Amino acid sequence: MFLSRIDRHNFLLLLCFSQLLFLLILYRRGAAGVFQGLFGGSDPPWDYSKTQDVYTNLSLFVPDPENVNTQYCPAKSPILVGPLSVSFQTTPSLKKVQQKNRHVKPGGYFSPRHCFGRYRTAIIIPHRNRESHLRTLLYYLHPFLQRQQLHYAVFVVHQAGNSTFNRAKLLNIGVREALKLDDWDCLVLHDVDLVPENDYNMYICDEEYPKHLASAMDKFDYSLPYWKYFGGVSALTPDQYMRINGLPNNYWGWGGEDDDIAMRIRLVGMSITRNPLSLGRYKMISHSRDSGNEENSRRYDQLGNTRRTWREDGMNSLDFKLISRTRAPLYTNITADIGDPPLVTEAPARWKLF
């Protein structure tokens, strides 16, 4: 009996250790990577030491005026190569990006010229004072999307004035304006300083759940920083976006809005689907913290109230003044006055939710 008690004690310790180990693996790798490793999957073992130029083979798409109106593009593009060469040593000029992307129409619109694009994707980029980053992203993003045979457009949402930056509110504005112009299948929310490294990372939505595309950034050693992370680049259908009431409008400065979005997704009964770490790789353009985008000291208080506020703070409360919407050669530029952050009269709490 004494030995059986010892065995039971050891068994419980082993069980607790196993559970802790599994949670640690989930934290570092994400469920997608863990379960794919356990049960297999279609994601091949990518070799990122062997990369291809993002403009490789684009000339193989020969225009076909008949097919473009009668035949859908294949679900899988025939010219995808996998890992791509990404370098930030020099910043391309807009003229160079235009020359490399002659078939992109004003406003950043593109449709395949040899078949009918079966997916319609709007890329929405919040922006202020990041012109060099924007040029670099456009240099890589346009051919990346063309390789995937998407019908797409790029929307850059510029915050006017010098008030504190509000990324989430700018994304709400971009979604509202983009939906006025086309019937999009997918909305990709894209930070201006992140460049994808694999063209099999399809910029299309999961029909059931919001999708986190940037699951493995070099900034985080190509691992997921924490299990609930939903930042960087993500994809939602318009219906999913409206179900969560869009993004919060009251996160001024850096931090918090991504966790608020993840919480909204859970509160409406959805889950987050995520790219495997070997596929969702992105390189971040290094930079210092922007002036006017200081850390949001109220974010933990705000996250603590999300369950109570998400239904009233979002697309249904979006307030801004549209200054201009113009079609630049490589993107649609949306400039908006989003007002100023409210005055904070109380000191923020010190506790942390995540």
Q: Which residues are known catalytic residues? A: 191, 193, 254, 257-258, 284, 287, 289
As a dihedral over the C-alpha atoms of residue 130, residue 135, residue 141, residue 147, rounded to 10 degrees, the angle is 170
Which of the 8 DSSP states describes residue 152? E
Run of H or E including 122: strand 120-127
Encoded tokens for 82: 């996998």
DSSP string, 147-183: HTT-EEEEEEEEEPSSSPP-HHHHHHHHHHHHHHH--
By three-state DSSP, how is residue 298 classified? coil
Residues 311 and 152: their CA atoms lie apart, in Å, by: 30
- d(CA 269, CA 205) in angstroms, rounded, equals 18
Name the token pair of 39: 């049960």
For residue 146, the SS3 value is helix
Is 310 in contact with 264 (CB distance < 8 Å)? yes
